[in-house]
Amino acid sequence: MILNVIDRTRLNNITHCYDQYIREPCLSAYRPAQKLMFLRLHELYNRKKTVFINVVSYFKHLPEFQNLNLDDQVLLIKQNIRLLIPLNYAILRTPVNSKFGGARIQTIGCKDNINLHDMLRPLAESFVEFVTYDPLIIKLLIIVLFFTTNSLTTRSIYDPAKYKQLNNIKQIQSSYVELLWIYMIEKYGEEDAIHLFTKMITKYLNIQIIIDQIDLIIQMTDDRQNIDSLMKTMLQLT
């Protein structure tokens, strides 16, 4: 057994906190569409607002996040939250009876009539296999990725964020990487852990590429001005 008592307590706390601040609030507030919905950009993201808020609330309850400088907290949210939402949707959609699995949405008014929902949906679906395998792995991965200070998207490369407690954030991320790694090795063995980790990171790099494309589409859509002010912040529009 590799995990110690403290590790197991952290894992239990993560599961409990996720269910309390993301899963249950999202499930209780979500109302699936009964027919195909045609939504403008601001309507699409205003519809997703509750999920974004619940995910942020979850991170705010992590003790390591609470100890960070307020400016760094805001930067982490602005940099990473939109990249992590697909992973969160994967968790919400995986149960057989999930209400999140059947939304039929067509966005209107975007450049070249692109349907952003059709771009976002496969990103969540690409992580469903991992959630089916072991949802705790994705819950841990979400935390690891949240403490990334500069993701490999075009915007981050050319406009790197300036963190006041950069070393602290890196230490926090390292501690969660170690917890994820030890958990996977103990439960599945080193060979499967390497395979799982490599595959998840590869798929997350693809998410970064697609989200960067979506960012550009949003920037070219006039309706972005009508997006809720809080959502503008989380979409890096302000």
In whole numbers, what is the pLDDT of the chain averaged over residues? Answer: 89
Tell me the C-alpha distance between 169 and 68, whole Å.
8
Q: Which domain holds residue 43?
A: 5-234
Tell me the C-alpha distance between 42 and 215, whole Å.
14
Phi-psi group of 236: left, alpha or beta (phi > 0 → left; psi -120 to 50 → alpha; rest → beta): left
Q: Is the pLDDT of residue 45 over 60?
A: yes
pLDDT digits (tens, 9 = 90+) for 89-102: 999 887 655 666 66
Q: How many structural domains compose the chain? A: 1
Residue scoring higher pLDDT (154 or 32): 32
What integer pLDDT is reported at residue 24 of this predicted model? 77
Question: In sequence order, what E strands does the chain have?
Answer: 37-40, 105-108
What integer pLDDT is reported at residue 1 of this predicted model? 61
**Is the separation of the CB atoms in 220 and 38 below 8 Å?**
no
Kindly report the CATH number assigned to the domain that includes residue 115: 1.10.565.10
Which residue in this structure is represented by tokens 């601001």?
42
Residue scoring higher pLDDT (136 or 31): 136
Percent of the chain at pLDDT exceeding 90 = 70
